[in-house]
Amino acid sequence: MKKVIENFYNRAYKKVLKDKVFENNKVCDIGFGYGSTGEIILDEGAFFYGLEPRKDAYEYAVKKYNSSELYNDILNTEFAEKYCDFFDLILCFTTLEQVDDKNTFLFFVKKMIKKNGRILISVRNGNSIYKKINGNKNNDLTHEEWVKLFISCNLKPVNITAFKRPLIHELSFNGLKQLAINITEFIVPMRYKYLLTYDLKTVDSK
């Protein structure tokens, strides 16, 4: 089952990263988990850098990719200084929700992105149909709140991609009630989807 759900997110990542990763790009994934994005990045001839705070996930990815550019950490001042104005693309998938000081985190992300580079941030939507019915237990921000946060940090959303929860997940763990939610997500507007991915650029980018 874990593999099925992982495959769902891999497909989502491929959709989000389509036409975003190019040969010789330097790409950093903050919170890379077990390294699913690494295959996509390397297949395009780009360079894969990343941070992952969970030791088991970090060790798995380092072994898988035999890379010295993966770090068992979350974003910090030293890393941001080392890679200042360095990356063409920075990814942050379902990680920002878990960061307490989101403004400082986004400041460090901005510090590392090249001029005209892009930042892709995927987050859970506190205003999704799923959250409305099951409760927003993690206090995830709504779409409007995420946008307000990004703008306050001088990041401009240029595109937003929305995903619903994987159907197989609902069938396996949550029964008919969650299956009904999943079906409903097919027809609701983007602002009510479960997972939102923001394609961001700094406001001074041309």
What CATH number has the domain bearing residue 152? 3.40.50.150
Strands (E), the chain: 26-30, 47-51, 70-71, 87-93, 113-124, 155-163, 195-202
pLDDT tier for residue 78 given thresholds of 50, 70 and 90:
confident
Cα distances (angstroms) measured from residue 82 to each of 12, 75, 86, 201:
30, 11, 9, 21
Q: Which of 7-16, 62-71, 127-136, 176-185 is predicted least confidently?
A: 176-185
Q: Does residue 180 surpass a pLDDT of 80?
A: no
Q: Does residue 184 surpass a pLDDT of 90?
A: no
Total domains in the chain come to: 1
What is the C-alpha to C-alpha distance for residues 127 and 144, in angstroms, rounded to an integer? 9
Q: Work out the mean pLDDT of the chain and round it to a whole number.
A: 83
Q: Does residue 206 surpass a pLDDT of 50?
A: no
Residues 120-160: tens digit of each pLDDT: 999 988 877 667 667 677 788 999 999 999 999 999 999 98
The closest of 38, 49, 16 to 123, measured between CA atoms, is: 16
Per-residue pLDDT averaged across 19-45, rounded?
92
Per-residue pLDDT averaged across 39-50, rounded?
93
- Domain range spanning residue 65? 2-202
**Sheet hosting strand 70-71, strand order edge to edge:** 70-71, 47-51, 26-30, 87-93, 113-124, 195-202, 155-163
Q: Does residue 167 surpass a pLDDT of 70?
A: no
The model's pTM is: 0.84
The 10 Å CB-count burial string (b at 16+, else e) for 63-81 is eebebeebbeebbeeebbe
What is the C-alpha to C-alpha distance for residues 129 and 25, in angstroms, rounded to an integer? 37
